[in-house]
Amino acid sequence: PLSKNPPEQHFQLSPAVRIAPTNPASFWLSAGEIVVTEVNFVRKCVGPNSSPDDLWGKLVCTNFKISFVTHVVYDLLPLQKFQYTNRLLGEHDIPLAGVEQVVTVNEAKGKQKVLGSNQKLKFSPTELMVYCKDFRMVRFRFDEAGPDSTKKVCLAIAHYSQPADAQLLFGFEYTGKCFHSDRANGLDPGSSLQTALFDCSSDWDREIKRTGASDWRVCSVNEGYAVSPSLPEFFVVPASLADQDLKQFSVSFAGKRIPMWCWNHSNGSALVRMASIRDPLQQRNLDRRICSAITKSHPKCSDVLKSDLDRSLPNIQEIQAAFVRLRQICVIEPFEENEERWLSSLESSKWLEYVRAFLKHSVEVVYMLEGQLCSVMLQEEEDRDLACVVSSLVQLMLDPHYRSLGGFQSLVQKEWVMAGHRFLDRCNHLKKNDGEECPLFLLFLDCVWQLMNQYPAAFEFTETYLTVLSDSMWIPVFSTFLFNCPRHCAERSRDFAQSESIKLGENKALRFPCVWYWGHQFSVKDQALFNSPLYVGKSVTCVHNGTVKTFRRTKKSHSATLRGPPSLPNGLTVELDTLTRRNSLALRLKPDPWQPREVPESPAERFSCEWLSRPVDLQGLLLPQLLPSHLQLWRLYFLRWVPEAQISRGGSVMAFHRLSLLADEIETLQNQLRQHRGGTPASTPASTPGTPDQESSRMYFKAGTPDDLPSTPDYLTSSFPFSPVGNLCRRNILGTPFSKFLSGAKIWVSNENLANETL
């Protein structure tokens, strides 16, 4: 812990540091990046007070990031470092798009100001606080820096972090430059990406085949965005509807969004999403025609059930407000002060309540599809927000494919990017103040985390992956999070190309890299952080008596002799179900022979309860436990910067570490086995998709030699692979005028310049 500090004068720079050149290794420019301005002899604080551990360096503002380049290579303790390197960002860098608020302070004069774009600053700042969208709070001090350059840097940061237009986002410069250079579009797109992008009809076609949706077809009426501005060029509709019908229908839907197919259950039920019908005269007729088309596409012609999302789920303003309250209690309020009321504060933030609401609603939809064997239509006013969360969650619960890394990315691509979730507006990249900002995607990732927390072996990826994915929203380079819909992306790229007179080749538009090209950000080694050892270990194929047996597929019925009858906690023993899960459904849904419970239970709840009383098949249906006691705060995401909450040599990473070593050993053995088999070609087993590369292990932690004693790296903490050091500098705010300022709800809520500069 960084304890009390002597007065600041003690930390005069030593001459050695003054003349030391900037450490070049920690600063580089990406393609299209330019330095705007910089200031030397800046101190980055690592604690609430000045400390001898503070770092000295140069603060640089580029058109992409705020960079802090230390004057010397500090011999940081492992604990102080991130355990991964981002290729686009240095250790201390903050992407401008991730800046929430910039506050300048002059302590001596007792002044502070929230800096907006194009503003003036009447005092020279002694301190700069950068509040980040990812919850970091970074603090720089300028006691030794030149006042003029200090001012310039602060103003530049404020200005460049609030671009007036989307084309000013760094991604355009980056992509433009990449286009010119040899490494067009970054790192060889197309190759080795196991993620379906759903920007072409073949991806949809494959998805139809994969899910066995026989009476559905890919339609191309929206090619060139001719019908709906927010739908993708290709999507899937009931086979019984002709293009002509679709065009005719589209007029009546909000955003001209023709109902769009998401997914098919193997029982034939389909999941469809739909915007509201704007034309009241057409409503009934249209409704009927759409429903009957969907019914026709169902092999058993079962009914279509509707799920009204607007009515049962919180709206985007409520979600944003919950997020702001959560941020307040997690990082803004002093740690000890809200300790006593932590649980009730957490409750009143409502964040977990909303997480639960989305999960619960998704379970209900799952019940309709799986339990009632009906197709489901998700209805939302615009079909671009809540439906993204619900449809993705439903598919994650029902389809194990989406719990693999590639599958999950395809799911985001299909239900978020292509379906026209307004990432640009919801991320508020343009720092507007129009109430459009909403962390809906983060909420979705939190829901996924809850599932993952309950069923850790069911997912190929880790919570680190989810965290890094959400952090990538603030790196404005990836097409994934930069636009409001595919058309928006296409138009903006075209316009930019024209304005920069970039000659476009066969591809009509500049192609922004999507976030799934993880090579843009991370080395192969660091990408291993994404892989769950439980999943990887189990997916290893075993050659058993000459036949290939995949451990991943365990769908067959389990032998009763080995497991015995499962029983409910209350002593209820259940007849072991020897039928496969899906077939037995009808049986399970017959009315409960016992008297009803005192607490009335919905059919979906009963369905869920029944399911929970059985052993889980991780490759089958996965339902979350929805008791509020089972939903937890996603600590890695929300508390990773909080030094007081960091468990040294503890946290779930300790289990992750152990599991990784074991999974790595298994992989090594597997490779050995394959090599041996390779010696006799006849017996080489067909490699199964998803089996590891021979060369590179998929585990971040590698098993050592047999002689190694079991040891654990000292740097493992509950924040792994992140580090809170220097990333959450709450000021010692008690008694300072700053405290008043910070405790005001205005911070984080609005970017408005607080009325005046002085208090």
Binding residues for another protein restricted to 532-571, rule: CB under 8 A:
533-534, 537-538, 540, 542-543, 549, 551, 554, 558-559, 561-571
Nearer to another protein, 142 or 323 (CB): 323
Give the three-state DSSP class for 609. Answer: helix
Under the binding rule (CB under 8 A), the answer on residue 486 touching another protein is no
Burial of 2-14, coded b for 16+ CB within 10 Å and e otherwise, reads: beebeeeeebeee
Cα–Cα distance measured from residue 526 to residue 396, given in angstroms and rounded to the nearest whole number: 25
Under the binding rule (CB under 8 A), the answer on residue 589 touching another protein is no
CB of 150: closest distance to another protein in angstroms? 36
Under the binding rule (CB under 8 A), the answer on residue 705 touching another protein is yes
- H/E stretch holding 58: strand 55-62
Under the binding rule (CB under 8 A), the answer on residue 613 touching another protein is yes
Cβ contact 346:352 at 8 Å = yes
Query: Of 135-143, 427-435, 590-598, 739-747, which part binds another protein (CB under 8 A)?
Result: 590-598
Under the binding rule (CB under 8 A), the answer on residue 16 touching another protein is no
Nearer to another protein, 194 or 675 (CB): 675
CB of 737: closest distance to another protein in angstroms? 28
Q: What angle do CA 752, 757, 758 make, to 5 degrees?
A: 135
Binding another protein by CB under 8 A: which of 74, 82, 335, 715?
A: 335
Cis peptide before 591 (omega within 30 of 0): no
* Site map (CB under 8 A) of another protein, residues 648-677, x = contact: xxxxx-xx-xxx--xx-xx-xxx-xx--xx
Binding another protein by CB under 8 A: which of 12, 283, 317, 344?
A: 344
Binding another protein by CB under 8 A: which of 293, 473, 645, 725?
A: 645
Computed over its alpha carbons, how large is the radius of gyration of the chain?
27
**Amino acid, res. 279:** D
Cα–Cα distance measured from residue 187 to residue 519, given in angstroms and rounded to the nearest whole number: 7
* Site map (CB under 8 A) of another protein, residues 420-459, x = contact: ---------------------------------xxxxx--
- H/E stretch holding 325: helix 316-327
Binding another protein by CB under 8 A: which of 24, 190, 224, 593?
A: 593
Under the binding rule (CB under 8 A), the answer on residue 271 touching another protein is no
CB of 496: closest distance to another protein in angstroms? 45
The answer for residues whose C-beta is within 8 angstroms of residue 244's C-beta and 6 or more apart is none
Query: Of 33-41, 226-234, 375-383, 603-611, which part binds another protein (CB under 8 A)?
Result: 603-611
Under the binding rule (CB under 8 A), the answer on residue 706 touching another protein is yes
**Measured between alpha carbons, how far apart are the two ends of the chain, in Å?**
33
Q: What angle do CA 69, 72, 74 make, to 5 degrees?
A: 95
* Site map (CB under 8 A) of another protein, residues 209-228, x = contact: --------------------
Under the binding rule (CB under 8 A), the answer on residue 2 touching another protein is no
146, two tokens: 């030149």
Cα–Cα distance measured from residue 433 to residue 378, given in angstroms and rounded to the nearest whole number: 30
The answer for residues whose C-beta is within 8 angstroms of residue 132's C-beta and 6 or more apart is 94, 98, 99, 100, 138, 474
190, two tokens: 């197309």
- H/E stretch holding 307: strand 304-308
Nearer to another protein, 306 or 538 (CB): 538
Under the binding rule (CB under 8 A), the answer on residue 347 touching another protein is yes
Binding another protein by CB under 8 A: which of 627, 682, 734, 755?
A: 627
23, two tokens: 């450490």
Query: Of 281-289, 334-342, 430-438, 729-737, which part binds another protein (CB under 8 A)?
Result: 334-342
Nearer to another protein, 81 or 677 (CB): 677
Q: How many CA atoms lie within 13 A of 728 on its CB side?
A: 23
